[in-house]
Amino acid sequence: MHFVKADINMNFIGRRKIAFYLSIAVIIISILSLIIHKGPKLGIDFEGGTLIQVKFLASVNIDDIKSGLKTIGLGKSSVQGFGEESGNEYLIRTDSPLVTSEGFSSELNQALESSVGSDIEIRRLEMVGPQVGEDLRAKALFAMFYALLFITIYISGRFELKWLISAIMAGALIGAVYIFKLFDVSIPFLIVAALIVTLILFWFLELKYAMGAIVALIHDVTITVGVFSIFEKEFTLPIIAALLTIIGYSLNDTIIVFDRIRENLKKHHKKPMEFIINRSINETLGRTILTSVTTLFVVVTLFILGGGIIHDFAFALIIGVLVGTYSSIYVASPILLTWQQREKRK
């Protein structure tokens, strides 16, 4: 069964400029949203504080919940509905970490019951200190950065046989990042600076396949983070897991296209690079669509039926799968063509 005809010949490369302007526009919007919102909206995992999930046995008013919280010193907490409206469940967030002891639970229970006039059930009570949140935030950023670096070693070795050069470069960058970290340099600034230096090194070391893959991955992560910022969704540890999953998914799609480009370079070595890349994308289009559709079917099902706990996780994967499929065609592959045009000018 074929979803795409074997002789299909869509001109993807011919539309690369339109795709380029589209990607630039979406990235600019994402960055502007992050600037306006002063970065992504961090959840309790990274910001620190206390998260309480409560269920009332009868319908209640949010103002009554806040009145009860004021009596125990939590007047500045945010309260929002959770799950279906008929479930009468609410999430209570406060910036300050509280002592989540048995005594606190009883105090909270009594305060809310007296203010809303309904029995309640405390379903979740999580506390993260500010130092722990900061450490988790730094580790999450480093996890994504190191994942990208190790990917460059694999891509450079597999497609260009430059294992040693890429390994030395990655080792030097990791060492430099570690040294600057000791001087209390801002972690987000450090990671962004390291990524810029990495792209510059790719350019001078002529690691074209690695550069195409990494630019596509940065493109995917930036847009996903930007969409979360636009919709003001919280960044938590599950979202970091989703971003790492997106990196793996997008990379797999890009490698499939790169593999076919490498094969066609041998078969059609007299043909122009534009023809080879376009043919390679068309030849792998069926596999790309099939993989994307089946993956989307699963994550959309999770998004609709998975409940509030994994709702944002599934949402991140939906954005990532769509953007990752797009970037393997319109971002990673055209960079190889740009590189050849650079060599011709030389």
Contacts of 142 (CB under 8 A, 6+ apart): 177, 187, 191
Q: Give the mean pLDDT of the chain.
A: 83
Residue ranges of the chain assigned to CATH 1.20.1640.10: 13-43+132-345
pLDDT band, very low/low/confident/very high, at 298 (cuts 50, 70, 90): very high
pLDDT band at 98 (very low <50, low <70, confident <90, very high): low
Quick one: pLDDT at residue 346? 61
From 3.90.1150.10, 3.50.50.60, 1.10.287.3510, 3.30.70.3400, which CATH number describes the 49-127 domain?
Answer: 3.30.70.3400
Q: What is the pLDDT of residues 279-296, one digit of tens each?
A: 988 888 888 888 899 999
Dihedral sign computed on CA atoms, order 178, 184, 190, 191: positive
Percent of the chain topping pLDDT 90: 18
Query: Lowest-pLDDT range, 170-184, 239-253, 282-296?
Result: 170-184
Helix orientation angle between 130-160 and 208-230, rounded to the nearest 10 degrees: 150
pLDDT for 117 equals: 79
Give the residue carrying structure tokens 């029995």: 119
Q: Which CATH superfamily is domain 13-43+132-345 in?
A: Multidrug efflux transporter AcrB transmembrane domain (1.20.1640.10)
Residue 26's pLDDT band, with cuts at 50, 70 and 90, is very high
Q: Within the chain, which residue ranges are assigned CATH 3.30.70.3400?
A: 49-127
Measured between alpha carbons, how far is 10 from 292 in angstroms, rounded to an integer?
Answer: 18
pLDDT surpassing 90 at residue 8: no
pLDDT of the residue at 334: 87
Contacts (Cβ under 8 Å, ≥6 apart) of 4: 285, 286, 289
Contact 67, 133 (CB under 8 A): no
Mean pLDDT along residues 305-316: 84
With a pLDDT cut of 70, the percent of the chain lying above it is: 91
Phi-psi domain of 236 (left: phi exceeds 0; alpha: psi -120 through 50; beta: other)? beta
pTM, whole model, 2 decimals? Answer: 0.83
Q: With bands split at pLDDT 50, 70 and 90, how would you rate the model's confidence at 216?
A: very high
Closest CA to 336 of 136, 159, 113: 159
Instruction: Give the separation between CA 288 and CA 321, rounded to whole angstroms.
Output: 11
